[in-house]
């Protein structure tokens, strides 16, 4: 393969440039959030997982093809044994300028241990998933999580100089009474805050999904009763739309896969911990890059397989809860595809 072929950018059939890869490094997690996992999850045998070296080779192949932003996720990425070896490996692409941003989404449980190492690898900002500031509710949502441990992790991240964005899934009947407190807390701490609509990933039962679902149009209307919100044109390379909060100076993002479809500007694809590439979170089609990787020591077939997959990227997802039915549900869990 010539240099020019390697460097032609990844463009999908809808003329969207794909420069953002989310990499799930494990399907395992130390929490069991009610909207994400069942309490008794079956995890993949370790042999199925890409090794850290394979993760490096695959991620580096995407970077050679023009990926500029890498988000590491899971499962809980920081419970993967030896994960810092992978972050260290990816930091070479930051140093060379090939990669613009290396980041992760984490539940925060291991941040006290790893925040400084992450910063040393060139990670500048992280997403911490936190749906509530209430100890008892936190236990109810995460089943196995400890709120104080996450708070220690958040403090360690602040000390390490990492910028923090809090991700909160809007859950009717659970954290609806707390959204103002979360805006105030994030504003005071200088953290961005993003609300997410609960998506039908993994078979959790239709009734539970519909009970949990709180459209962000309603969340925004509730927030506007107390805070002065102004739309801003911030683009962090993800799907959120942002407002500025006049009273705190902070920012709030809204990720609305259900009430407002953002697929037209989608710039990302997702790699599972077993090397399957999903071109869309909400569609079943995938490409088995692990098979190509393991069959070929040379990268040319891998580049071709990635380009073939991008050429199949669909226009968008079909999630829909209108008519009081869950439509577009994906059988796989969010922890498999990577959030």
**What is the binding site for ligand SF4 (CB under 6 A)?**
29, 31-33, 36-37, 74-76, 107, 129, 335
Q: Which residue is nearest to ligand SAM (CB)?
A: 339
Nearer to ligand SAM, 30 or 54 (CB): 30
CB of 292 to ligand SF4, least distance (A): 27
Work out the burial of residue 184: count CB atoms within 10 Å of its CB; fewer than 13 is exposed, 13-18 middle, 19 or more buried. Answer: middle
Contact status: 175 vs ligand SAM (CB under 6 A): no
Span near ligand SAM by CB under 6 A; candidates 70-78, 155-163, 242-250, 274-282: 70-78
* CB proximity list for 86: less than 8 A, separation 6 or greater: 25, 52, 55, 56, 72, 80
Place of tokens 């869309």: 280
CB of 221 to ligand SF4, least distance (A): 26
Whole-number Å distance between alpha carbons of 60 and 1 = 16
User: Is there a contact between 166 and 187 (Cβ–Cβ < 8 Å)?
Assistant: no
Contact status: 107 vs ligand SAM (CB under 6 A): yes
CB of 252 to ligand SAM, least distance (A): 15
Work out the burial of residue 271: count CB atoms within 10 Å of its CB; fewer than 13 is exposed, 13-18 middle, 19 or more buried. Answer: buried
Q: CA separation (Å) from 88 to 56, 66, 93, 102, 262?
A: 10, 20, 10, 11, 33
- Picked from ligand SAM, ligand SF4, none, the partner binding residue 192 (CB below 5 to 8 A depending on kind) is none
CB of 129 to ligand SAM, least distance (A): 3
Nearer to ligand SF4, 276 or 335 (CB): 335
Contact status: 174 vs ligand SAM (CB under 6 A): no
197-256 residues in contact with ligand SAM (CB under 6 A) are 198-199, 201
Choosing from 12, 21, 27, 35, the residue that interacts with ligand SAM (CB under 6 A) is 35
CB of 322 to ligand SAM, least distance (A): 17
CB of 259 to ligand SF4, least distance (A): 21
User: Is there a contact between 24 and 270 (Cβ–Cβ < 8 Å)?
Assistant: yes
Whole-number Å distance between alpha carbons of 240 and 168 = 12
280-319 residues in contact with ligand SAM (CB under 6 A) are none
115-134 residues in contact with ligand SAM (CB under 6 A) are 129
Whole-number Å distance between alpha carbons of 140 and 23 = 28
**Angle of CA points 297, 302, 307, to nearest 5°:** 170
**Angle of CA points 251, 107, 339, to nearest 5°:** 75
Place of tokens 């899971």: 74
Catalog residues that contact ligand SAM under the rule CB under 6 A.
Answer: 29, 35-36, 73-74, 76, 105-107, 129, 167, 169, 196, 198-199, 201, 334-335, 339
């Amino acid at each position: 393969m010539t240099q020019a072929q390697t460097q032609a950018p990844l463009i999908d059939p809808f003329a969207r440039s794909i420069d953002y890869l989310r990499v799930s490094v494990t399907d395992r997690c130390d929490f069991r959030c009610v909207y994400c996992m069942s309490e008794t999850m079956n995890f993949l045998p370790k042999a199925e997982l890409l090794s850290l070296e394979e993760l490096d080779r695959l991620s580096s192949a995407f970077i050679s093809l023009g990926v500029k932003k890498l988000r590491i996720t899971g499962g809980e990425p920081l419970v993967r044994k030896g994960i810092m070896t992978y972050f260290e490996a990816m930091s070479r692409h930051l140093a060379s300028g090939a990669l613009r941003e290396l980041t992760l989404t984490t539940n925060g449980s291991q941040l006290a241990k790893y925040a400084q190492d992450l910063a040393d690898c060139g990670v500048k900002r992280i997403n911490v998933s936190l749906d509530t500031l209430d100890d008892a509710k936190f236990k109810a949502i995460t089943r196995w999580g400890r709120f104080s441990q996450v708070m220690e992790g958040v403090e360690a991240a602040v000390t390490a100089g990492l910028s923090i964005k809090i991700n909160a899934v809007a859950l009717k009947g659970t954290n609806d009474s707390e959204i103002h407190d979360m805006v105030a807390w994030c504003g005071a701490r200088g953290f961005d805050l993003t609300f997410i609509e609960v998506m039908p990933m993994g078979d959790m039962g239709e009734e539970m999904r519909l009970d949990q679902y709180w459209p962000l149009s309603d969340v925004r209307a509730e927030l506007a009763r107390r805070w002065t919100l102004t739309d801003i044109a911030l683009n962090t390379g993800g799907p959120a739309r942002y407002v500025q909060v006049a009273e705190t100076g902070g920012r709030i993002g809204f990720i609305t896969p259900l009430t407002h479809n953002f697929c037209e500007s989608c710039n990302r694809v997702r790699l599972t911990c077993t090397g399957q590439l999903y071109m869309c979170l909400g569609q079943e089609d995938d490409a088995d890059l692990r098979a190509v990787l393991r069959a070929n020591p040379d990268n040319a077939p891998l580049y071709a397989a990635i380009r073939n997959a991008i050429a199949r990227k669909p226009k968008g997802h079909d999630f829909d809860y209108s008519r009081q039915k869950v439509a577009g549900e994906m059988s796989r869990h969010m922890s498999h595809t990577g959030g």
